[in-house]
Chains A and B, each alone.
Chain A
Amino acid sequence: MNKLIVSPSPHDENYLKTSTIMLNVIIALLPALGVGFYMFGFRAVTLTAVCIASCMMFEYVSRKIMGRSNTISDLSAVVTGIILAMNLPVTLPYWMAVIGCFAAIVIVKQLFGGLGQNFANPAITARIVLMVSFPSAMTHWIKPTEYDYDAVSSATPLAVKAAGGDAPSYLDMFIGKTGGCIGETCALALLLGGLYLAARGIISLAAPVSFIGSLFLLSWAGGDDPVFSILAGGVFLGAFFMATDYATTPITFKGKIVFGLGCGIITFVIRHFGSYPEGVSFSILLMNVLTPYIEQLTRTKIFGAKEAEKNEG
């Protein structure tokens, strides 16, 4: 007769694993990634592969050096690699992308304790590190579907507009036929991915809706073209895939709303008043930093709880 296993209740679970969640995020990223591959050609594929491989390698090596368990199988490094690649221009030299992966996985994630412990979004922070370190390589854009990587720099819709030019049509922006990072141009594909995650119960739409909604309303009130404003730059990529990151955004529903509002406001302020055309990365990073405070102020209402007694030591 076997020895019976004795453990505290509950004795059942729903068998949802971290890796299943990550796999769903990967599935949700595929449409936008596919559009990116189509618009920007084969180099987009190889750049993405380089990012995924180096993220996994850095994850493995850094945990090995720190004497921690191997966490490759939770797929979070793969997700970071894909999202980071989607945040890069297709012409970026591979070695720069590897530096980005190092910043994302080693500095932002593993040095703070690994999955769930990092306070800032690894991909966003890596994008900012690269943008500050290699400004010209990070703003070298090519025309979609032409696959001419040596061509004189094209421009993103935001850059065009900032320079006083004519913005592309809403339709082109919606389907991703504009210059920009590999995975940020097609709002439609990103929206599909986001809705898929929401339907699977992986993410809440609270932050994306309040992010995109507040940016839309503020742009409108500020006299900008609100539709252009939400379709341009990394708004959809940021809203659905980075403002919903578990580790770096608030847990509670109220907190997620506040987080999204903050992102919308900061993006608007940077774009409207700053000289810098993009604003999504900085807005998300700034809100990441505020997340612990937001969380402190948006705790759940406890059923039947009484206020703490005043005279308690």
Chain B
Amino acid sequence: MKKLNGIRLKHRKNTENSQTIDFTLPAKVVIPMSMHMGVPCQPLVKVGDTVKVGQKIGDTDAPFSVPVHSGVSGKVTAVSDYRNAMGTVCKAVEIETDGEQAISDDVKPPVVTDKESFIKAVRESGSCGLGGAGFPTHIKLNPKTPIDTLVINAAECEPYITADYREMLECPDDIIGGINLIKKQLGIKNAKLAIEANKPEAIKNFTEMAKNDDTIDIITLPSSYPQGAEKVIIYNSTGRIVKEGELPSDEGVIVINVSTVAFIYRYMQTGMPLVTRRLTIDGNAVGEPKNVRAIIGTSFRELLDFCKTDIDSIKKLIGGGPMMGMSIPDMNMPVVKTSNALLAIKTYDERKTSNCIRCGRCVRVCPMGLMPAEIDKAYKIKNIAELKELKVMLCMNCGSCTYVCPANRKLAETNQLAKSLIPRK
């Protein structure tokens, strides 16, 4: 089997041994109506309403969307426009907490009798991909083609982040329970829990737990970035190649994040929707890097203070990992469903970009086998036919090419810009 290209990164998993701490109840939360891929929800509450924990506060009829719930009890103080890190504008509900944390009557274990009711329950849980992409889970679990393999993405290949790793150490039973639940409800024969080699303790634990179950394989992924990319993890755990324009389900595979699986399991037991999440707070401006379980809507600023961050020294704030995470323009933005990490960086100097020296490093590292240097050239002269030939649409923006470029060319960024030149069918 051909080995896919990748790069070696410093893992910097400084928080791997830090037990998750529940962050204290904030005085107020701001909950955006769009935390998933897809159409934003409409607020179901108005200023002055009282809400309880687990109460649904936003929903929509759009199929590619998941409802939003409150993680606090208190009073709605504002429903206003909010611009997220992607630049998308949606409504956000601001709730002043009352400290009671009274739980809504709606929070009760869902009744699941068949696949249809299972998928419906998954939607009602507000679940979307917790690894960072925010793909609605109920869509992912309801493909049109038959599935024979469930791949659990526990690669967590980005530096710093240990949120999924702590899930594996702290809640292994929820993960195995979730795997078995999804397998049963969707009639999937095999599951593969794919963990990167830099997490030997998790690999050992799960190998032990699954030793009597031959339908669950524990896969050790090589320690090379990006193992967590969907096509890469499918190839490295099943040997199947998801071809251009195909979905994983076309190859009989569903890939789902490990923390998402554990959440689905807990939801089916308790009925408590997605209102909190674990995230890693790290970066060189952070005094005490930690894993924190925060209520969705808590402001990043409070978490940074909690981790003894030198606020004034922060030059760059990243939501997610250093390779694919997003710049956060404002520290007062809230934790959302997809926030798996918050990195506060104090040393960031933009280097000058110079000519491509044609060293070929970008070509050697691209996991998809693309030629970023050639795409860069074709983009400059807007040669659309050539960009198509070079298959720029297959770029998944893992950032490896930019990372290795000695001329500091923003190749990954150029790839995304080049994609926009290609007309969609």
Contact = CB atoms under 8 A, between A and B. Distances in A.
Contacts of B394: 302-305
A34 B371 CA distance: 38
Interface in A1-23: 1-2, 4-14, 16-18, 20-21
A66 interface: no
Q: Is the interface of A mostly helix, strand, loop or mixed?
A: loop
Nearest to A313: B385
A305 B343 CA distance: 35
Contacts of A20: 406
A302 B407 CA distance: 24
A113 interface: yes
B325 interface: yes
B358 interface: yes
A300 B370 contact: yes
Interface string B226-250: 0000010001000001111110000
A11 B325 contact: yes
B410 interface: yes
Nearest to A247: B358
Nearest to B354: A18
Interface residues of B, number: 69
B175 interface: no
B371 A5 contact: no
B316 A11 contact: yes
Contacts of A115: 354-355, 357
Contact of B403 (A6, A14, A21, A117): A14
B327 to A, nearest CB: 4
Contacts of A251: 358, 360, 363, 371, 373-374
A170 interface: no
Interface in A287-313: 299-306, 308, 312
B314 A4 contact: yes
Interface in A42-62: none
A74 interface: yes
A222 interface: no
Contacts of B410: 8
B323 A6 contact: no
Interface in B296-321: 311-318
B326 interface: yes
A116 interface: yes
Interface in A102-117: 113-117
A246 interface: yes
B380 to A, nearest CB: 12
Given A4-B315, A14-B403, A252-B360, A304 B242 contact: yes
B114 interface: no
A154 interface: no
A198 B71 CA distance: 56
A251 B4 CA distance: 18
Interface in B348-363: 348, 350-351, 354-360, 363
B287 interface: no
Contacts of B318: 11
B78 interface: no
Contacts, number: 155
B331 interface: yes
B172 interface: no
Contacts of A18: 354, 357, 406-407
A129 to B, nearest CB: 23
A88 to B, nearest CB: 25
A231 B300 CA distance: 65
A9 B348 CA distance: 13
Nearest to A21: B406
Interface residues of A, number: 40
A117 B412 contact: no
B369 A303 contact: yes
Nearest to B241: A304
A306 B243 contact: yes
Contact of B231 (A8, A9, A74, A303): A303
B324 interface: yes
Given A5-B348, A13-B408, A246 B358 contact: yes
Contacts of B323: 9-12
Interface in B264-306: none
Given A12-B322, A308-B388, A301 B369 contact: yes
Nearest to B320: A9
B173 interface: no
B329 A4 contact: yes
Given A5-B327, A14-B403, A300 B358 contact: no
A302 B5 CA distance: 11
B243 A304 contact: yes
A11 B406 contact: no
Nearest to B301: A1
B404 A71 contact: no
B330 interface: yes
Contacts of A247: 357-358
Given A2-B312, A20-B406, 11 more contacts: A4-B328, A4-B331, A9-B412, A13-B402, A14-B404, A17-B351, A18-B357, A18-B406, A302-B369, A303-B241, A303-B367
10 pairs of A and B residues whose beta carbons are closest in the complex = A10-B399, A251-B360, A12-B322, A6-B327, A116-B357, A304-B243, A116-B355, A10-B323, A246-B358, A300-B369
Interface of A: 1-2, 4-14, 16-18, 20-21, 71, 74, 76, 113-117, 246-247, 251-252, 299-306, 308, 312
Interface of B: 4, 7, 9, 159, 231, 235, 241-246, 311-318, 322-331, 343, 345, 348, 350-351, 354-360, 363, 366-371, 373-374, 388-389, 391, 394, 397, 399-400, 402-408, 410, 412-413, 416
19 contacts: A2-B315, A4-B317, A4-B330, A5-B327, A7-B316, A11-B316, A11-B325, A11-B327, A11-B345, A11-B348, A12-B159, A14-B404, A17-B408, A251-B360, A252-B371, A301-B369, A304-B243, A304-B244, A305-B244
